[in-house]
Amino acid sequence: MPGFDVLTIGNAIVDILARTPEETLVELGIDKGAMTLVDMDRAVGLYERMGPAVEMSGGSAANTVAGLVSLGGRGAYFGKVANDTLGEIFAHDIRSLGIHFATVPLDGVPPTARCMIFVTPDGERSMSTYLGACVEFGPQDIEPEIVAAAKVSYFEGYLWDPPLAKQAILETADIAHAHGRRTAMTLSDAFCVNRYRAEFLDLMRSGKVDIVFANEAEAKALYETQDLGSAVSRLAADVPELAVVTLSERGCIVADRAGQAAYPAIRVDAVADTTGAGDLFAAGFLRGYTEGLSREHSARIGAHAAAHIIRQIGPRAQTPLSELPDIRALL
Amino acid sequence: MPGFDVLTIGNAIVDILARTPEETLVELGIDKGAMTLVDMDRAVGLYERMGPAVEMSGGSAANTVAGLVSLGGRGAYFGKVANDTLGEIFAHDIRSLGIHFATVPLDGVPPTARCMIFVTPDGERSMSTYLGACVEFGPQDIEPEIVAAAKVSYFEGYLWDPPLAKQAILETADIAHAHGRRTAMTLSDAFCVNRYRAEFLDLMRSGKVDIVFANEAEAKALYETQDLGSAVSRLAADVPELAVVTLSERGCIVADRAGQAAYPAIRVDAVADTTGAGDLFAAGFLRGYTEGLSREHSARIGAHAAAHIIRQIGPRAQTPLSELPDIRALL
């Protein structure tokens, strides 16, 4: 078994991205900037109102491992698609990057998950996700030898939405720790944090997860506070190893029980689409972390990867990140 | 029946676009810059070797009508998809622009056509097309009232590849002319011209097609000459109304039996992907033509539309073209 730098686990989703005027979000009743779960009927209705779109593999944790590999790391992924066209596209896009992906696809219904991403003129994305085959992801999909072989197992908070995935994550954490590996998670979305606050806190406090990534809204939501400083301090106290809080154009804070440090973002003048910004920051940070680089250096790789992804449409880099001069210099 | 500026007819295709090193084209035996037809086995084999991709509706004539509508024109489209996921995506992307599209999708196999587009670092695209459901497009798919209601019926030379489409085109031309409308075509591709040279010449000389769009390689291929001037003169003599020959960064020549004029291209410093350049030039030119604007003005709209599309990935504009300041000033 070859080693992996990072295994990520998440909802395996194909994104459908379209530019949308602000008014349309209001008309359609979509929460701006959030990820909202929708059923098939609502998904069909929204798609009918959506403009011409681009399709691209997505899924938060899948974007992160795609970014990690694009940065020169070795990656693996667990996630459930169906045996259908979108599932083939998803599997192709992951495997063609050299990522280990062997989760057995679901035969029959429900179909592969899709996320309609409405991108407003300010570059912000608002997501409506139909989970489809992801609801069948569970403990049977964990490959223990892959978990054991990965320096970090990283999973998304979104996995608390489907019914069986959380059990798979708990088992993954135990396998990882039994092999001296690290676990990490992203809190995913402030609404998601509101749905699963107690469970997320328990994951950290029980030591199941060593490293937590959160953006400002998620960190504040976790502790039901408007005070960022307080949220960061409490997160750093709750997480065994490392809390990484991203602040968009204000950079990030990396904190542990001993203290915290702030690192800058990379300035981007023309934001095309923020889809994937957090996912790619985590990819860059983990690329540095798994190479044993400093927190500052890791945060810088993350900032560059995030800056690159928001200059383009969609969450997967269209050019290998490791070939970009500013990023290559950091690797 | 509302009027249409342009009806386009073509192979209804979903594009699968990926960046590819030059070496990979050679390894895969792909003709650079050309469109090559492939069967399902070859399509599967090529896809396995392709990098992570983006999916987007394509098809030359469909790109043209999408561009025309994005420029504020009224458009209709005939083309055959299957009743499957890619077919739904294609139909959605056309209809969400407000384009009339009512061709009955094919039930069962073959599936919706797809074109794998390998984009090399110079921005050039090389295409491998599996025609799928397009081979079933035929005279039964012509909606005579739409043809009658369109100022211009425009079709792609690629339609000579599937077996039944050419008959549909001949009937379309007769309906259009019976209603005092114009017909137009694109020669599509130099290899396509080599396959159907005699038939294309006969279309012009018999008066079935009034306006012809060609790029330099296609015009030269049509007359089996290396001399551009000779090719343009002969094309202008063969085409009843207008020959429009595009020369990439050197602009275009618009010619008829009375003479010819050259118009410049718009300079583009960073070409991301040339996919759709010719399709969007035709869209812009026809937008002007159907508004009764001068040839020079029409060529300028075409040049701007083409310049915009080669700065992005894929042949469909991700922002309405009529909202771009340089283009808005021309409409």
User: For B50-79, what is each residue's pLDDT tens digit?
Assistant: 999 999 999 999 999 999 999 999 999 999
State the angle between helix axes of B60-70 and B277-290 in degrees (0 to 180), rounded to the nearest 10.
50
Per-residue pLDDT band at B1 (split at 50, 70, 90):
low
Q: What is the CA B4 to chain-centroid distance, rounded?
A: 18
User: For B218-252, what is each residue's pLDDT tens digit?
Assistant: 999 999 999 999 999 999 999 999 999 999 999 99
**Residue A1: is its pLDDT beyond 80?**
no
Helices marked H in A1-125: 22-28, 40-49, 60-70, 85-95
Contact A92 B319 (CB under 8 A): no
The DSSP call for residue B310 is T
Contact A141, A175 (CB under 8 A): no
| pLDDT score recorded for residue A220 | 98
Q: Which of B53, B66, B313 sits opposite A93 (nearest CB)?
A: B53
DSSP letter string, A261-306:
EEEPPPP-SS----TTHHHHHHHHHHHHHHTT--HHHHHHHHHHHH
Q: A–B: how many Cβ contacts below 8 A?
A: 63
Q: What is the rounded CA–CA span in Å between residue B125 and residue B119?
A: 5
Q: Is A51 on the interface with B (CB under 8 A)?
A: yes
**Mean pLDDT confidence for A279-303:** 98
Contact B82, B132 (CB under 8 A): yes
Contact A113, A150 (CB under 8 A): no
In percent, the amount of chain B with pLDDT more than 90 equals 98
Contacts of B276 in chain A (CB under 8 A): none
Closest CA to A200 of A249, A155, A137: A155
| pLDDT score recorded for residue A2 | 74
Contact B96 A56 (CB under 8 A): no
What is the biggest distance separating any 2 CA atoms in chain B, rounded to whole angstroms? 52
Q: What is the rounded CA–CA span in Å between residue B218 and residue A169?
A: 58
DSSP β-bridge partners for residue A56: A15, B54
Two structure tokens written together for B112? 């919706």
Contact A97 B51 (CB under 8 A): yes
Contacts of A84 in chain B (CB under 8 A): 85
Q: What is the rounded CA–CA span in Å between residue A243 and residue A262?
A: 12
C-beta atoms surrounding A249 within 10 Å: 12
Q: Is B89 on the interface with A (CB under 8 A)?
A: yes
C-beta atoms surrounding B153 within 10 Å: 30
Q: Which stretches does DSSP call E strand in B67-186?
A: 75-78, 100-101, 113-119, 125-130, 150-156, 182-186
Two structure tokens written together for A53? 């779109």
| pLDDT score recorded for residue A255 | 98
Contact B55 A56 (CB under 8 A): yes
**Residue A87: is its pLDDT beyond 80?**
yes
Q: Is B66 on the interface with A (CB under 8 A)?
A: yes
**Mean pLDDT confidence for A255-278:** 96
3-state SS of chain B: helix, strand, coil percent to 5? 45, 20, 35
Length of chain A: 331
Q: What is the rounded CA–CA span in Å between residue B249 and residue B268?
A: 8
Per-residue pLDDT band at B2 (split at 50, 70, 90):
confident
Contact A276, A127 (CB under 8 A): no
Contacts of B40 in chain A (CB under 8 A): none
**Exposed / middle / buried, residue B17 (Cβ in 10 Å: 0-12, 13-18, 19+):** buried
The sign of the torsion formed by the CA atoms of B160, B166, B168, B171 equals: positive
To the nearest whole Å, the CA of A69 is away from the closest chain B CA by 12
Best residue in B54, B70, B88 to probe A by mutation, most A CBs within 10 Å?
B54
Per-residue pLDDT band at A108 (split at 50, 70, 90):
confident
In percent, the amount of chain A with pLDDT more than 70 equals 100
Return phi, psi of residue B183, to 5°: -120, 150
**Residue B21: is its pLDDT beyond 70?**
yes
Q: Is B47 on the interface with A (CB under 8 A)?
A: yes
Per-residue pLDDT band at A232 (split at 50, 70, 90):
very high
Contact B301, B330 (CB under 8 A): yes
User: For A312-325, what is each residue's pLDDT tens digit?
Assistant: 999 999 889 999 99
Closest CA to A116 of A24, A180, A187, A8: A24
Q: Is A54 on the interface with B (CB under 8 A)?
A: yes
Two structure tokens written together for A254? 């990396």
Q: Which of B50, B92, B97 sits opposite A96 (nearest CB)?
A: B50
Per-residue pLDDT band at B108 (split at 50, 70, 90):
confident
What does pLDDT average to over chain A? 97
Best residue in B16, B47, B93 to probe A by mutation, most A CBs within 10 Å?
B93
Q: Which of A55, A318, A319 sits opposite B89 (nearest CB)?
A: A55
C-alpha dist (Å) from residue A319 to A66, B19, B321: 12, 7, 25
Q: What is the rounded CA–CA span in Å between residue B328 and residue B88?
A: 31
User: For B112-160, what is each residue's pLDDT tens digit?
Assistant: 999 999 999 999 999 999 999 999 999 999 999 999 999 999 999 999 9
Q: For residue A90, what is the nearest residue in chain B, using CA coordinates?
A: B52
Q: Is B54 on the interface with A (CB under 8 A)?
A: yes
Contact B52 A51 (CB under 8 A): no
DSSP letter string, A114-165:
EEEEEE-TTS-EEEEEE-GGGGG--GGG--HHHHHHEEEEEEEGGGGSSSSH
Q: For residue B114, what is the nearest residue in chain A, using CA coordinates?
A: A85
CATH superfamily of the domain spanning A4-328: Ribokinase (3.40.1190.20)
